[in-house]
A and B are shown apart, each in its own frame.
Chain A
Amino acid sequence: KQEVTQIPAALSVPEGENLVLNCSFTDSAIYNLQWFRQDPGKGLTSLLLIQSSQREQTSGRLNASLDKSSGRSTLYIAASQPGDSATYLCAVDTGGYNKLIFGAGTRLAVHP
């Protein structure tokens, strides 16, 4: 049974810091991994999708890596800003029925 774990559960950093969010999964048989952002009371915004054949994806200040063999992904946020404050969720796609399996998320607070 696929399980997704995110560490840390919460993180508070001063503005300008570079930070890393971690995601691990138990079954390496995935087709892709997605990182999402969720603001309080809102839906999910897709940030990055890494296909199983890829090692990393970049979008602006965000860089996500994938090591399928070890069951790990990281989301790197450069030069964090208060507007980055949100919950970040990772999810693995096992290739069927759009059934993403999510971690519980990392709640990020960036203070000025």
Chain B
Amino acid sequence: DAGVTQSPTHLIKTRGQQVTLRCSPISGHKSVSWYQQVLGQGPQFIFQYYEKEERGRGNFPDRFSARQFPNYSSELNVNALLLGDSALYLCASRMGGQGPRENSPLHFGNGTRLTVT
């Protein structure tokens, strides 16, 4: 079975531009979440979507937005890029949704490396 797939793998953008990152979850997984990982740090939570609805948002500005499609794939959009947005963006999927009854592990993709110049 294919794991979580992300595209593109690498991206170079200029300050002020907009970027769209894509993610396809593991087949059968309905929950997708996005994380930002700056070099040398652990990933930080950006969004979670479950059944096409936003269920959680981390401490990121409104320049960051996302959506989930009927086939459970997801896009992350970042507007007005800043140099500080340079990072590895990770997508993760999980079988179920959230909360104490959901104890299945998160499965991560290989990420999209975004460089803003």
Contacts and interface: CB of A to CB of B under 8 A. Distances in A.
Interface of A: 4, 31-32, 34, 36, 41-46, 49, 51, 89, 91, 95-105
Given A44-B108, A103-B42, A104-B42, A97 B98 contact: yes
Contacts, number: 74
A41 B115 CA distance: 13
A46 B108 CA distance: 8
8 contacts: A42-B110, A43-B110, A44-B90, A44-B108, A45-B108, A46-B107, A49-B104, A97-B33
B106 A100 contact: yes
Interface in B1-35: 4, 6, 31, 33, 35
Given A31-B100, A41-B113, A44-B90, A99 B108 contact: no
The 5 closest A-B pairs by CB, nearest first: A97-B56, A102-B42, A44-B108, A43-B110, A43-B108
B81 to A, nearest CB: 21
Given A98-B98, A99-B45, A99-B58, A43 B106 contact: no
Interface string B73-105: 000000000000000101010100011100111
Interface of B: 4, 6, 31, 33, 35, 40-45, 48, 55-58, 88, 90, 92, 94, 98-100, 103-111, 113
A96 B90 CA distance: 18
A107 to B, nearest CB: 9
Contacts of B43: 44, 89, 100, 102
A98 B41 contact: no
A89 B44 CA distance: 12
